């Protein structure tokens, strides 16, 4: 027996209501996220990537799981590595606690760049997927740039590298 046509409408309304509950819960949460690994992606010949960390803190939300998503890349030449998921699990966070999440970034080449790659990190109280722009708790702007490690090894440039 074929399903009744209005059952699809009921399912859509139920999904919309669940999405609204997630958005309402997120608006009542307070998280912070901070870039903790600096702003330089150090590259070398054949080595174009590295891990960067972000500190996710539950400032005043009820205890629960938190996720961070990395995206909205603009400018420069840094992005998430092709095998790196854009959704990072911070795990269970009690009020007042913090956890580090890490993502692997890659550069298109190892040439120094003075142009920052801007991106955002969002914190969620549920695992984001198709509705990735609805219901996040906090969105923080981040940036990075490419710095070649070979330049630091040459005698003429030593004073410019940390």
Do residues 123 and 17 lie in contact, with contact meaning Cβ atoms separated by under 8 Å? no
Residue pair 59/94 in contact (Cβ under 8 Å)? The answer is no
90 burial type by CB count under 10 A (0-12 exposed, 13-18 middle, 19+ buried): buried
Q: Tens digits of per-residue pLDDT, 132-149? A: 555 667 788 888 878 877
For residues 97 and 31, is the Cβ–Cβ distance under 8 A? Answer: no
Which residue did the predictor score with more confidence, 60 or 10? 60
Give the model confidence (pLDDT) of 88-116 as tens digits: 999 999 999 999 999 999 988 877 777 88
* Residue 100 β-bridge partners: 55
Q: Report the CATH architecture of 6-151.
A: Sandwich (2.60)
Q: What pLDDT does residue 57 have?
A: 92
Under 8 Å between Cβ of 142 and 81 = no
The residue ranges of every structural domain in the chain are: 6-151
CB atoms within 10 A of CB 1: 3
């Amino acid at each position: 027996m074929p399903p009744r046509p209005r059952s699809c409408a009921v399912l859509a309304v139920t999904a919309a209501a669940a999405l609204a509950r997630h958005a309402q819960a997120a608006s009542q949460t307070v998280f912070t996220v901070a870039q903790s690994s600096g702003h330089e992606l150090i590259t070398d010949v054949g080595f174009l990537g590295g891990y960067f960390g972000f500190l996710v803190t539950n400032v005043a939300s009820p205890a629960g799981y938190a996720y961070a998503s990395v995206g909205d890349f603009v400018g420069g030449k840094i992005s998430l590595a092709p095998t790196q998921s854009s959704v990072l699990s911070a795990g269970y966070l009690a009020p007042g606690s913090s956890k580090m999440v890490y993502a692997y970034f890659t550069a298109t080449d190892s040439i120094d760049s003075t142009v920052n790659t801007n991106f955002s990190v969002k914190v969620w109280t549920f695992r984001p997927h198709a509705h990735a722009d609805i219901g996040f708790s906090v969105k923080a702007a981040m940036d990075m740039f490419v710095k070649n490690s070979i330049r630091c090894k040459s005698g003429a440039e030593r004073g410019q590298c940390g």
